[in-house]
Amino acid sequence: MFMENKASDGEQPRVGVYVCYCGMNIASKVDVEALRQFAEKLPNVVVSRTYKFMCSDPGQELIAQDIKEQKLNRIVVASCSPLLHDATFRKACAKAGLNPFYFTMANIREQVSWVTANSAAATKKAKALVAAAVARVAMHEALEKKRVPVHADVMVVGAGISGIHAALLLANAGKKVYLVEREPSIGGHMGQLDKTFPTLDCSACILTPKMSEVKNHPNITLWTLSDVQEVSGFSGNFKVKVKRNPRFVKLELCVACGQCVEACVFKEGRVPDEYNIGLSKHKPIYMPFPQATPASVLIDPNACLKLSRGKCASKCVEACDRAAIDFEQKVEYSEVEVGAIILATGYQLFDATKMPEYGYGKYPNVYTMIELERLVNAAGPTQGEIVMRDGRKPKRVGIIHCVGSRDKRHHPYCSGVCCMVSLKMAHLMRERIDAEVFNFYIDMRTTLKGYEEFYDRVLHDGVNFVRGRVAEVTDWAMTPGEEGKLVIRVEDTLIGVVRRIPVDMVVLATAMEAHDDADDVRRKFNISCSKEGWFLERHPKLAPVSTFSDGIFLAGVCQGPKDIPESVAQAGAAAAEALSLVDKGFVEIEPNSAWIDADTCSGCKTCIPLCPYHAISRDEQKKVAVVNEALCKGCGTCVGACPSGSAQQKLFTDQQLHQEIEGVLNYV
Amino acid sequence: MRYLYYPGCSLKGTGKAYDESLVAVFDKLGMDAKELPGWNCCGATAYMSVDETKAFALAARNLALAEQENGSDPIHLIAPCAACYLVLNKVQKYMAEYGHLREVIANSLKAVGLNYHGTVKVRHPLDVFVNDIGLDKIKAAVSHPLKGLKVASYYGCQVVRPYAEFDDQYNPQTMDQLMNALGADAVDWPLKTRCCGGTLTGTVEEAGLRMSYILLKEASKRGANIMATACPLCQFNLECYQGKMRGTFGDSIDLPVAFFTQIMGRAFGLEAKRIGLQRLFVPVKAAPAMA
Amino acid sequence: MSSLQIQVRIKHQEELDPDFANSIAALPGGENLSRCIQCGTCSSTCPVSLYMDYTPRRIIAMTRAGFKQEVLASNTIWLCASCYECTVDCPREIKVTDIMYALKRRAMEEKVYPKRFPTPVLAKEFFKSVLKTGRSNEGLTVTWMILKTAPLNMLKQMGLGLKLLLRGRMALGVEKMEGDPTQIRRLMEQVEVEEKKTH
């Protein structure tokens, strides 16, 4: 019965098949002319053509012309993935007066030519796919896209430089922005850096104005110490539940005068300070850092005697004349509706103890780069004085690039920024303490504007460069000059000799890596990530800040390693994408929703709890299931589960799928 | 648990004391570890440079014999020599990884009436003592705590590389823990896994000698009064060439180098002869608690 | 008269062996040869590289580029002590030790190692001993090696041998495996048969 060649709407199908060369992408493997001839002989096919680039204007025009002249009522394009050009060809059909859903694509590029070296096999598979598409398209029906209004507010998750920049752009465009940050202050990693390459402007000087702009912006609602708990809904209409952890200090009252910190019963710091990477300690009540935003102290509930043991003289409460301290604060949950979400959750740094050959954690004078950033910073644990853990000042410093990067045992990718960070640090060590500096690199990557010039400047500074990956940092001395030093063992690959270089201080340029909880976050937002844990963009070139979930965009390093200018540029792009979505006022929804055939539905309720979007309910009068089309996302779960076959889905009807299968089987 | 013991050729020659002390320690700890009947040379490193597939087939024969011996029980084959331990492990891994190799070896074994299904677990005695027997039981067996003995635990290369099955390959700990359990002090030193020179001491003496000398010198510098080894070749290089090192480097190097099992035997109060102390070139008597 | 020694150092493409890299990469352990990024970790981690005419990194580069003659004639491959430090440290997971073994075997096949160089001789002596008895006999093997490579050294080594004998660490007799040692010979012959079959 399935080979009955009558269209679903009673009309006799007149199919046009268009085989794309895609330049050499398809034509180098698939015999496109043979495919065209094959398609010509398939049932219902009226015309079959090939073209170099079907997606080009002349290619689309070809289809439009045939629709008009040959009275085609079904179109099949055999080319690339529907993800790329489904919309293009649907539009071409619509322009020629044909309902765009009388169209289907056969993917003979990603699923055929790109995945085999065998030309004969490729052509054979392409024929099977085209036969299936021709059989399927006969069963297509005219459908209409639905329009749904969108919510104009936007949420930005993560308030490092990327999140801050995106939030400000949107807020300045008049959109209400919820900015969610899990740390007590905004600013992210950029707030920890001393100077930025290649211009050497002070990181805090360029970041803090933006931080205070966030705080004072009437369109931005800032939630720190907060986490997104749950996301539901769809593009244009998300519902987000945010968990807001207590600060135990009333934000609106605190002026960060610091008298409470002074008064705390602990006279010395006792909690390793995250901002200073543990190089200093803070008290249970503390200010994260001088420019922290919001400018307010907070209390660490695990360290505070009052909060952890219930017993304390609470000197802080006495000291605060604004009565801002509130031990009764509890976790709060806020639920908001937004039209778009920008993820700017950033990164973490590679744990250097995973490479014991470099001695981090074993030898006190081995530092990570971010530790050194704090050490050279005037607001850092030593007020910018460069003294090592053993109290000495380094005379000779070795900077090791690629720690955890370009290493299949850790991260196979290049972190991109470490070369420039290491050059900057080499420069600072020359400038500030006149130290002798050795940089150990595998390949020097200084590709962006002004970067190569900076490398040239550092070479001229007298920094020593050794091309070679360091094998080991050891305290094993072979010569008197090595006694009491850290010895770096490396092959100087440009000379072809192994060298042992004794230094006082070793600095490890550790890799950028995805957060440990990146996978949880991605699940919450229903997006994908690469195997390294970076959030996956929709298309690496043409949709670099979009995701496979409409309405969710990416900014900054959560998508992959980047430096500051790139992160900011990407944040701008994400803001523009979000704006283009929420400003339009509506979204069009693919008409692929499910429906229930009320005549055959037994009312068994199997589908109702299975629906992940809560789109199915039971009509108690008719005793049948009913789908709410506005909520249905077209996932097909109910269709698969329905025991009586009453649940059906547009664009994926049983008839269409059976025809598609028959098409393949008849050919094979 | 039942074990099978694969001594390897060196333990029947230069490393005889390793064999004697290991068997004595098995006894003392009440372990069931009979010698694998009919075992042959593991293939060893030198052999690998003549014909690799043949070397693998030699190793695989031993695994097939071990499998036969234990029937369906899980088979733990103890290989004390570092080279044997490596080669036996390597053939397991490579047979799993390289289909062609697996086929050649399986067919060759079949032709001489043997079969190997890949079920043997090759274990180093350090692994067995620390992870199966346990430090508590070892401590309980100590009758002569080795007070004042400062041990540089020397693991050598092939026990922890390239297959760090039971210990860290950069900073292994099992032998140190074992020594501490015997009442001795394990010295922290950075060359625990640096190569002793291996066969180079025999073939390119200048290179090999210096590599061993470096180890002895650093261990002494870090305060060790004895070095413990887990490999017959390391022990041979480090101990038997000390006279030559004194001549070559003009240094008064003089450090006893014993198998870690001899040190265990001493702490267990076993008779000196049973653990082969008389076979050492540098007498251990000088070291505290070893007399 | 000039005392400046000069040498032509240019390399023409036709002097290289284009199949050399592939033949090494095809062996077990050679598969990642082409992935080397020339970082030098193998060289700096190697405890013997200080004696090598080419560091391990350069051997990898030269093998990859087809410098067969230079690679097989180098002392590097014979100095490798198989400590596997390079293999575990390589960030590209190249099994450098296995590649060194492969190069040693190739050099022996092509007979391009220094005459009287002891390592290949030692390897062959091991082979013979195992074939005969199922075991390797260190004492006898080493004695043969010395006699074949540097007979004069025999005198120097006598002291050590004597000491070992006195301490029962070197047997004068031949250690033999239990059971039937001809099984070893048959097994080895079968390997040759099987290898031919699959080629």
Q: Say if strands B32-35 and B75-78 run parallel, antiparallel, or are unpaired.
A: unpaired
Do residue A278 and residue A216 come from a single domain? no
Q: B75 exposed, middle or buried (CB, 10 Å; 0-12, 13-18, 19+)?
A: buried
Q: How many residues does chain B have?
A: 291
Which two tokens mark A377? 């910073």
As a whole number, mean pLDDT of residues B193-208 equals 91
Nearest CA among B255, B282, B259 for reference residue B270? B259
Nearest CA among B81, B20, B16, B22 for reference residue B261? B22
- C39 interface with A at CB cutoff 8 Å: yes
Nearest CA among B98, B123, B95, B113 for reference residue B36? B123
Q: Say if strands A497-503 and A486-492 run parallel, antiparallel, or are unpaired.
A: antiparallel
- C130 interface with B at CB cutoff 8 Å: yes
Which residue has tokens 């704090």? A374
Do residue A190 and residue A232 come from a single domain? yes
- What's the CATH code of the domain at A231? 3.50.50.60
Interface test with A, best of B167, B168, B171 (most A CBs within 10 A): B171
Determine, yes or no, domain membership for A301.
yes
Residues of chain C with pLDDT under 70: 1-2, 140-152, 154-155, 172-174, 199
- B59 interface with C at CB cutoff 8 Å: no
State how far the Cα of C166 lies from the Cα of C158, in Å rounded to an integer. Answer: 12
Specify the DSSP element, H or E, that contains A372: helix A369-376
- Is C92 in Cβ contact with A471 (below 8 Å)? no
Number of C-alpha atoms within 13 angstroms, CB side, residue C175?
26
C124 vs B contacts (CB less than 8 Å): 50
Q: Mind spelling out the 3-state secondary structure of A32-99?
A: HHHHHHHHHCCCCEEEEEEECCCCCHHHHHHHHHHHHHCCCCEEEEEECCHHHHHHHHHHHHHHCCCC
- Residue A611 to residues A133, A631, C39, Cα–Cα distance (Å): 29, 10, 53
- C44 interface with A at CB cutoff 8 Å: yes
Do residue A489 and residue A519 come from a single domain? no
C127 vs B contacts (CB less than 8 Å): 47, 50-51
CB A114 within 8 A of CB A27: no
Do residue A313 and residue A336 come from a single domain? no
Determine, yes or no, domain membership for A445.
yes
Q: A591 exposed, middle or buried (CB, 10 Å; 0-12, 13-18, 19+)?
A: middle
Amino acid at B186: A
CB-defined contacts B:C, below 8 A: 195
Which two tokens mark B236? 């041979």
A475 vs B contacts (CB less than 8 Å): 190
**DSSP conformational letter for A12:** P
Q: A480 exposed, middle or buried (CB, 10 Å; 0-12, 13-18, 19+)?
A: exposed
Spatial strand order of the sheet with A486-492 comes to: A472-474, A486-492, A497-503
Q: A413 exposed, middle or buried (CB, 10 Å; 0-12, 13-18, 19+)?
A: middle
3-state secondary structure of B180: helix
Do residue A498 and residue A398 come from a single domain? yes
Which two tokens mark A564? 């500051």
CB burial readout C6-34, b (16+ within 10 A) else e: eeeeeeeeeebbeebbeebbebbbbbbbe
Determine, yes or no, domain membership for A662.
no
- C106 interface with B at CB cutoff 8 Å: no
Q: Which of A498, A513, A528 is the last residue of a domain?
A: A513
Do residue A502 and residue A573 come from a single domain? no
| Closest chain C residue by Cα to residue A442 | C39
State how far the Cα of B266 lies from the Cα of B183, in Å rounded to an integer. Answer: 11
- B9 interface with C at CB cutoff 8 Å: yes
Determine, yes or no, domain membership for A667.
no
**CA dihedral of A463, A466, A472, A478, whole degrees rounded to 10:** -80
- Is A478 in Cβ contact with B191 (below 8 Å)? no
Check if the interface score ipTM surpasses 0.90. yes
In chain C, where does DSSP find H-type helix?
Answer: 20-25, 41-45, 56-65, 68-73, 76-79, 85-89, 96-109, 118-133, 138-149, 153-166, 182-198
Determine, yes or no, domain membership for A449.
yes
- Domain with A643, as residue range(s), is 594-649
Do residue A498 and residue A524 come from a single domain? no
pLDDT of residue A4: 42
| Closest chain A residue by Cα to residue B190 | A476
Domains, chain B, with CATH or none? 2-125 (1.20.1050.140), 134-286 (3.40.50.11810)
| B44, pLDDT greater than 80 | no
- C31 interface with A at CB cutoff 8 Å: no
Do residue A539 and residue A435 come from a single domain? no
- Is A476 in Cβ contact with B218 (below 8 Å)? yes
A523: left (phi over 0), alpha (psi -120 to 50) or beta: alpha
Residue B73: count of CB within 10 angstroms of its CB: 11
- What's the CATH code of the domain at A636? 3.30.70.20
State how far the Cα of A123 lies from the Cα of A35, in Å rounded to an integer. Answer: 7
Grade residue B16 by pLDDT with cuts at 50, 70 and 90.
very high
φ and ψ at C100, to 5 degrees?
-60, -45
Do residue A473 and residue A546 come from a single domain? no
Which residue has tokens 């202050």? A185
- Residue A620 to residues A604, A605, A625, B75, Cα–Cα distance (Å): 12, 11, 9, 65
| Closest chain B residue by Cα to residue A478 | B214
CB A486 within 8 A of CB A475: yes
A442 vs C contacts (CB less than 8 Å): 37, 39
- Is B107 in Cβ contact with C194 (below 8 Å)? yes
pLDDT of residue C124: 78
CB-defined contacts A:B, below 8 A: 10
State how far the Cα of A302 lies from the Cα of A285, in Å rounded to an integer. Answer: 11
| B142, pLDDT greater than 60 | yes
Nearest CA among B176, B175, B253 for reference residue B209? B253
Question: Which of A471, A489, A496 is facing C58, going by the closest CB pair?
Answer: A496
In B121-150, the residues whose Cβ lies within 8 Å of chain C are none
DSSP A185-252: SS-TGGGG-SEETTTTEEHHHHHHHHHHHHHH-TTEEEE-SEEEEEEEEETTEEEEEEEE---SB-TT
Q: How far apart are the first and last CA of chain B?
A: 34
- Is B190 in Cβ contact with A357 (below 8 Å)? no
CB burial readout A90-111, b (16+ within 10 A) else e: bebbeebebbbbbbbbbbbbee
Count the domains in chain A: 5
C41 vs A contacts (CB less than 8 Å): 469-471, 491
Specify the DSSP element, H or E, that contains A336: strand A332-338
Please, which residues bridge with residue A618 across strands? Answer: A625
Question: Which of A406, A493, A497 is facing C91, going by the closest CB pair?
Answer: A406
Residues of chain A with pLDDT under 70: 1-10
Do residue A85 and residue A126 come from a single domain? yes
- C50 interface with A at CB cutoff 8 Å: yes
Å from B191 to nearest chain C CA?
A: 11
Do residue A547 and residue A635 come from a single domain? no
Domains, chain C, with CATH or none? 14-109 (1.10.1060.10), 118-191 (no CATH)
A490 vs C contacts (CB less than 8 Å): 40, 44
pLDDT of residue A313: 93
pLDDT of residue A281: 96
A500 vs B contacts (CB less than 8 Å): none
**DSSP conformational letter for C50:** G
Determine, yes or no, domain membership for A192.
yes
State how far the Cα of A33 lies from the Cα of A39, in Å rounded to an integer. Answer: 10
Interface test with B, best of A360, A366, A476, A487 (most B CBs within 10 A): A476
pLDDT of residue A1: 33
Which two tokens mark A583? 């400003």
Partners of chain C (3+ Cβ pairs below 8 A): A, B
**DSSP conformational letter for C14:** G
DSSP A154-172: EEEE--SHHHHHHHHHHHH
Do residue A205 and residue A337 come from a single domain? yes
Determine, yes or no, domain membership for A522.
yes
Which residue has tokens 């030309």? A119
Determine, yes or no, domain membership for A176.
yes
State how far the Cα of A580 lies from the Cα of A584, in Å rounded to an integer. Answer: 6
B214 vs A contacts (CB less than 8 Å): 478
Peptide bond into A301 cis (omega under 30): no
Peptide bond into B37 cis (omega under 30): no
